[in-house]
Chains A and B, each alone.
Chain A
Amino acid sequence: MNIKLLRYDPTIDNAPHFETYVVPWKENITVLEILMYIYENNDSLAFDFGCRGRACGRCSVMLDGQPVVACYTPIHEDRDLTIEPLKGFPVIRDVIVDKNKARDKIRLIEVRQPIKPIGVEDVMAQKDPVVSSKLDMLKWCAKCLCCVAACPVVNSNDTPSSFAGPAAMVAIAYRYYDPNDYGDRVVQAVSEGIFDCVMCGICTQVCPAAIDHLPIFEELRGEAKKLVA
């Protein structure tokens, strides 16, 4: 395989530049294995990973223009491909980008707003299984930010957007369904731009955690409309 990889060290290079590396293909080779091969055999590049299972979000990159998690993306044939850093984030070096803008916001959203300590009876009490199943889905968000890289609203050049992006909305939804959170997460969804979302579903298409965003966003919008009405 001929791998075109966008290299860039802002402390050394004047501009990003593509380098091409030849990597032997094997069945189910992952993009992460390709990066590791280049690192070990060709050039000391900067890349990161953790869990090898789309759960930590550390290895997200652009593969042929699409955001993917490198560890869980197999290449099914001996072909050429292009790897670039995740779109929409400042590049630190090679495929390492600064995710802090998005992740810091998410972290603040995720701080629970409780009104009382949680007792063992709260834990043991029966919960709504519909809510539980939504939490079971949302909790797997790896904060890989593939959704943010793909979102046409976040990446729009036309008008500045107040939409914080799908990953931030997933974090808001996580606390919205959290039985021990009492914050007004519907108001938060509105202020973080839930109505700027164009409901295109591209986030769901690229999400490695198979999160189904649109029904959740619909629910939040529905609740928000009730508030304003």
Chain B
Amino acid sequence: MGDKNSEETRISRRDFVKGAIVGVAGIASAGVLTGCGEKTPTSSPSIIEETVTEVPKPIFEVHEADVLIIGGGIGGDNAALEATKLGANVMLVDKGPYGFSGGASCLHWGTIVTGADSPDVEFKYSVWGSYGLINQKHLRTAVDNSTDILQRFLENGTADYLRLPDGNLFMFPSPGGKMAFGYFPRYDAGQTRWDGVQVFEKTMITDLLVQDGRCIGAVGINIPTGTFHVFKAKSTISATGPYPWFWGWITVNSYTPNAPDNTGDLDAIAYRHGIELQDLEFWDYSLGSLKPDGLAMSISGGISAFSLMAGNICDKNGDYFMQDIPLNEMTRPRFSYEIAKRIAEGKGGPNGGVYLDLSKEGSVRLLTPEIMRNVAPLKDKFGMDVMKEPVEIGLRILEMVGHPVADENRESAIAGLFFAVPAGRATYPTATSDGVWAATGGLIAARKAVERAKGLADTPINLDLVNAEFERVHSVLSKQVENPLRPHVVRHHIQEACYKALGLYKTAKDYEAGLFALKKIRDEELPRMCVQNKTQNFNVEWKEALENYNILDMGELSIRASLFREESRGPFQRTDFPKQDNENWLCNVGLKIGSDGNPTVEKKEIVWTEISPDDIKQLLTTGFQA
């Protein structure tokens, strides 16, 4: 007995397997995987013959707790610690090895910690730094909950922050805040387990369970064993980080320092369940060394460049093109787009980057410890003397702003479903920087999640939903086609298309070409995607195939958001609309799945509470003063 409501709010599983989630026209697949061998006729000119292999009978483990947390990084850990402190039973699921996955946990580069000590100054700085688009309700909660963050992060488990040679804390001035370095979230991981959080690692969530408009948990597979799991909870918090893995491919990674885990699974799943995504056109870029290929874009392994190094960066002609820009104007977005502009003018190096010159006197002082530790190994192991020879550096996605929409309690439009980092962070430099935003968001989400869970009546699981998802996940594994494409092949085509379409200084033509290419992949390649090895035992390919649906959706939605915003603002720069247009575009852009499966895009009013749009326009004109 199916649940009609949940079927209405999401595209049916048949369409999903065929890859017709976004963009329904042109379905090429001829098969329907129900295990019965039925075939539906198709009117498409290219018919793909599909052999139906029987999917096993659904069998799964069920786990239950008050609060389910998806993602075990800074956001998830802080949510878990808070929820247990408030007396809830907590399950935490992570796709990778817990403590060693995703962004900060994986990078282990020592997260920057900014605590607000003048909350109102922090607030204003963040509104300015976000080019006016930040959700001020979220911002107030983040700022107010970060005043004690310096102590709180250490209390989680990191032994100490970075200190000066005399033993005093190394602090960086930040308007309205204190900035310290060296929070290593992996040292929280023992504490969560000790506090009784049930951790399920190396487990990929493939769908949420939504019944009668309420999220009652999630389902997914354990990657080492292939076992299907049902996680039943009264409240679910998603904290899965950014999703840059659609942006190009070098040899072992996309143009990002982030981890292969960061494929946007929960953002795409949320979208398919009807939740609005917002701000997908905004990214935070940073710069990383391009060579050798195997270390390209890596923060922990390569050389990174930050805005303080602007005076050490030259183009292919040896022109130090940023040295006259005053440091207080050198924000992270400005640093990125000045470099992108230079490259777009044809003054970049052979690998598409500019050059970091550390041979100047005193350059070594610019190197933070996580970069400094790479100088000797890069020379000894890889033959690169970065203190003498210019290092070619290119743009990479550091963080992403776009996420599902949620209120200031981090609760989404689906009851019981929370996002530690919803849309509304807007771009850096918000004073409450990346990791702090995730941590405070996790905290706030946990408080509401626990409150919601208390006294909530039990909702029995609709097993039809579980069985249907089991079948979908297993059909991805067992599917055979005559002319198969392995998942990485499809993935690299998606990545190539997104790399051409997205980034700084693109135009409508680039976006439209990207949408065209992705549609072709969706219609012609996704139905041919097959896993070569059918083992259920740590099947990386199976995981990649499942992730590909999410990568494709997030790439396409990012392009649609970019196409829609007809202006340039901060790190979003397009050459066909080069000016910032506060009259028409001081707004957010939202995407929602339509009843036909295609996304609808719309302008959304910014959420402001303390600084009005008129005051924002003034602030953006005059600049920030503390």
Interface residues of A (CB under 8 A from B): 9-12, 26-30, 32-33, 36, 39-40, 43-58, 71-74, 92-94, 96, 98-99, 103, 106-112, 114, 117-120, 122-124, 126-129, 132, 135-136, 139-140, 142-143, 174-175, 177-181, 210
Contact = CB atoms under 8 A, between A and B. Distances in A.
Interface of B: 96-97, 99-101, 105-109, 148, 150-151, 154-155, 157-163, 165-169, 180, 182, 184, 187, 189-191, 193-194, 224, 251-253, 257, 259-261, 291-302, 369, 373-374, 377, 381-383, 486, 488, 531-533, 535-541
B292 A28 contact: yes
A142 B150 CA distance: 24
A72 B541 contact: no
Given A28-B292, A139-B187, 5 more contacts: A51-B257, A56-B106, A56-B107, A111-B194, A139-B182
Contacts of B99: 107, 143
Q: Which of A26, A50, A99 has the most CB of B within 10 A?
A: A50
A136 B369 contact: yes
Given A36-B251, A55-B109, A93-B537, A74 B381 contact: yes
A12 B531 CA distance: 16
A51 B538 contact: no
B112 to A, nearest CB: 15
Contact of B293 (A33, A48, A49): A33
A123 B189 CA distance: 21
Given A28-B382, A126-B166, A53 B190 contact: no
Given A51-B259, A136-B369, A107 B189 contact: yes
A194 B189 CA distance: 24
A108 B190 contact: yes
A117 B159 contact: no
Nearest to A36: B252
Top 5 nearest A-B pairs (CB, nearest first) are A53-B301, A53-B300, A30-B294, A55-B300, A28-B292
Contact of A120 (B109, B148, B160, B382): B148
Contact of B535 (A28, A73, A93): A93
Contact of A33 (B100, B101, B294, B298): B294
A50 B259 contact: yes
B298 A39 contact: no
Contacts of B148: 120
Contact of B106 (A55, A107, A128): A55
14 contacts: A11-B536, A12-B535, A33-B294, A44-B540, A48-B97, A49-B260, A50-B100, A52-B294, A52-B295, A53-B301, A71-B294, A108-B194, A112-B191, A143-B100
A142 to B, nearest CB: 7
B100 A129 contact: no
B294 A74 contact: yes
Contacts of A57: 100
Contacts of B259: 50-51, 56
Contacts of A93: 535, 537-538
Contacts of B166: 126, 129
B190 A110 contact: yes
